[in-house]
């Protein structure tokens, strides 16, 4: 493909690929030189040109010599637009999900519902890429835009017609998941997270809202969980843009949740839609799982799904890895659940989901990640001791911080909690101490396969460890 074909100009240079890492530049590459928090890509423009870059996308004031300078005040956005023209075509139907909690479950549930409706569907998110044959490719949690678009194009070549993907606040701010026509965008909820990056909740919300103000197609649909305190902001934005609106939840107008009855292995839902009442037996426990399922249903309906058939398909949803996943049954008979909850709000929701199913005590094991928002640690501890009956504070992913210092921050809110630094020992203690009427919750890492300590990623899977300790 010629450079001029991508830019609308007359440049004859052949384009062979895109890169944002100068070390990956080969002859014919378009190089994206972006200013980051730690590294300034503009410092490597000369290296990229020496390696064969035919064009550089950068700010107007950047110095580019020996290659075409594609100047833009927002070079990440310009780079994404060019890359989308190069990598396409993409799946015909694409939807995106943002929010603090529930993104991973919602995109995976959307994929499952589409599959049940006969579509060749895939999802991209924290779990990786999940394709129509249930094959999961990990390692693409927060891909750069080149990786994202090349993988999405690859899915289209495999016959995928429907794609659901997570749109994180980082990804939206850094234009990592750009270039697709987004037919529907969903908002799940907003609570404290990533303030180490965004600075404050206002900036965090602004990042999320970009999905609806800029990324969602002009003729697309906004799907909103109507029961969150920030939902009105999203609804107002969608109306201002003239987007179609699908709202779900107790305050929802499209899918109104009028009843929820927890059962031993799931919950019965009563949903009003199109003037009719629908009874659904959702095979997942927890109020927030019901919320995720309804948002997923809203996305499917927004992209052409029939309402009654979509709601009845909720009864066939399968659990999502690391999201209130029942990992084991202790010798005492106590079930052990693993969940990705790593914010105060998510931890509270996970405990609330399990509490009605515990005739005895709810035992919670959790920690907090290092090199991340320190302000959420004490609130997590406070939520745990207020909501759970027994609390064990342990290590999560300490990364570059002192694990003991992180635990102290959490314990400042978790008065009376037990401290066991070694995560395996903490899990073992919780399971060993659980009685037949108790439930154990291991929170924070969910699906993750490793524990990050310093610069090392040590093999560690909460589900596998729980099974070992329960055996």
Binding-site residue ranges: 99-105, 141-142, 168, 174, 176, 372, 396-399, 444, 448
Binding-site residue ranges for ATP: 99-105
User: What would the two tokens of residue 128 be?
Assistant: 């990786």
Q: What are the structural domains, with CATH classification, of the chain?
A: 3-72 (3.40.1390.10), 88-316 (3.40.1190.10), 325-470 (3.90.190.20)
User: What would the two tokens of residue 187 be?
Assistant: 């908002």
Report field, pTM of the whole predicted structure over 0.85: no
Binding-site residue ranges for meso-2,6-diaminopimelate: 372, 396-399, 444, 448
Tell how far CA 359 is from the center of its chain. 32
Q: Output the CA angle 4-5-10, nearest 5 degrees.
A: 30
Spatial separation of the C-alpha atoms in residues 463 and 402, rounded to whole Å: 25
Per-residue pLDDT of the chain (471 residues; tens, 9 = 90+): 999 999 999 999 999 999 999 999 999 999 999 988 788 999 999 999 999 999 999 999 999 999 999 999 999 999 999 999 999 999 999 999 999 888 999 999 999 999 999 999 999 988 888 886 666 665 544 578 999 999 999 999 999 999 999 998 778 888 888 889 999 999 998 875 555 555 676 788 888 898 998 999 999 999 999 999 989 999 999 999 999 999 999 999 999 999 999 876 789 999 999 999 999 999 998 888 999 999 999 999 999 999 999 999 999 999 888 888 889 999 999 999 999 999 998 899 899 989 988 899 999 999 999 998 899 999 999 999 999 999 999 999 999 999 999 999 999 999 999 999 999 999 999 999 999 999 999 999 998 999 999 999 999 999 999 999 998
Three-state secondary structure along the chain?
A: CEHHHHHCCCCCCECCEEECCHHHCCCCEEEECCECCCCEHHHHHHHHHHCCCCEEEECCCCCCCCCEEEECCCHHHHHHHHHHHHHCCCCCEEEEEECCCCHHHHHHHHHHHHHHCCCCEEEEECCEEECCCCCEECCCCCCCHHHHHHHHHHHHHCCCCEEEEECCHHHHHCCCCCCCCEEEEEECCCCCCCHHHHCCHHHHHHHHHHHHHHHEEEEEEEEEECCCCCHHHHHHHHHHHCCEEEEEECCCCCEEEEEEEECCCCEEEEEEECCEEEEEEECCCCHHHHHHHHHHHHHHHHCCCCHHHHHHHHHHCCCCCCCCEEEEECCCCCEEEEECCCCHHHHHHHHHHHHHHCCCCEEEEECCCCCCCHHHHHHHHHHHHHHCCEEEECCCCCECCCHHHHHHHHHCCCCCCEECCCHHHHHHHHHHCCCCCCEEEEECCCCCCEEEECCEEEECCHHHHHHHHHC
Spatial separation of the C-alpha atoms in residues 471 and 464, rounded to whole Å: 11
């Amino acid at each position: 493909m010629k450079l001029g074909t991508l830019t609308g100009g007359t440049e004859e240079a052949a384009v062979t690929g895109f890169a944002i890492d100068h070390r990956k530049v080969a002859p014919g590459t378009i190089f994206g030189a972006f200013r980051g928090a730690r590294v300034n890509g503009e410092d490597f423009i000369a290296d990229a040109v020496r390696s064969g870059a035919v064009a550089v996308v950068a700010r107007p004031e950047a110095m580019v010599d020996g290659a075409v300078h594609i100047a833009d005040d927002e070079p990440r956005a310009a780079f994404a637009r060019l890359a989308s023209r190069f990598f396409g075509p993409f799946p015909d139907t694409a939807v995106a999900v943002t929010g603090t909690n529930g993104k991973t479950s919602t995109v995976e549930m959307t994929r499952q519902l589409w599959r049940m409706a006969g579509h060749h569907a895939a999802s991209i998110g924290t779990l990786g890429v999940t394709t129509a044959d249930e094959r999961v490719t990990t390692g693409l949690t927060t891909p750069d835009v080149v990786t994202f678009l090349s993988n999405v194009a690859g899915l289209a070549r495999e016959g995928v017609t429907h794609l659901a993907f997570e749109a994180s606040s980082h990804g939206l701010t850094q234009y990592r998941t750009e270039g697709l026509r987004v037919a529907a965008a969903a908002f799940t909820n907003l609570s404290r997270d990533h303030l180490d990056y965004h600075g404050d909740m206002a900036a965090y919300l602004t990042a999320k809202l970009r999905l609806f103000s800029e990324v969602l197609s002009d003729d697309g649909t906004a799907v909103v969980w109507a029961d969150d305190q920030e939902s009105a902001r999203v609804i107002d934005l969608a109306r201002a843009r003239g987007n179609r609106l699908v709202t779900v939840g107790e305050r929802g107008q499209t899918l109104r949740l009028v009843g929820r009855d927890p059962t031993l292995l799931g919950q019965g839902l009563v949903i009003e839609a199109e003037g009719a009442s629908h009874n659904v037996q959702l095979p997942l426990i927890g109020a927030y799982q019901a919320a995720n399922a309804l948002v997923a249903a809203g996305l499917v309906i927004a992209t052409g799904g029939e309402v009654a058939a979509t709601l009845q398909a909720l009864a066939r949803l399968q659990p999502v890895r690391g999201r209130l996943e029942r990992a084991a049954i202790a010798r005492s008979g106590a079930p052990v659940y693993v969940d990705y909850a790593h914010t105060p709000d998510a931890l509270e929701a996970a405990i609330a989901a399990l509490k009605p199913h515990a005739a005895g005590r709810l035992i919670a094991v959790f920690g907090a990640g290092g090199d991340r928002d320190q302000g959420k640690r004490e609130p997590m501890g406070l939520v745990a001791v207020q909501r759970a009956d027994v609390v064990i504070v342990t290590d999560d992913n300490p990364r570059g911080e002192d694990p003991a210092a992180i635990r102290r921050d959490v314990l400042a809110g978790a008065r009376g909690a037990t401290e066991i630094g070694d995560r395996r020992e903490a899990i073992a203690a919780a399971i060993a101490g659980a009685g037949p009427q108790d439930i154990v919750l291991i929170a924070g890492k969910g699906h993750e396969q490793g524990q990050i300590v310093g610069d090392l990623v040590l093999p560690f899977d909460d589900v596998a460890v729980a099974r070992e300790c329960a055996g």
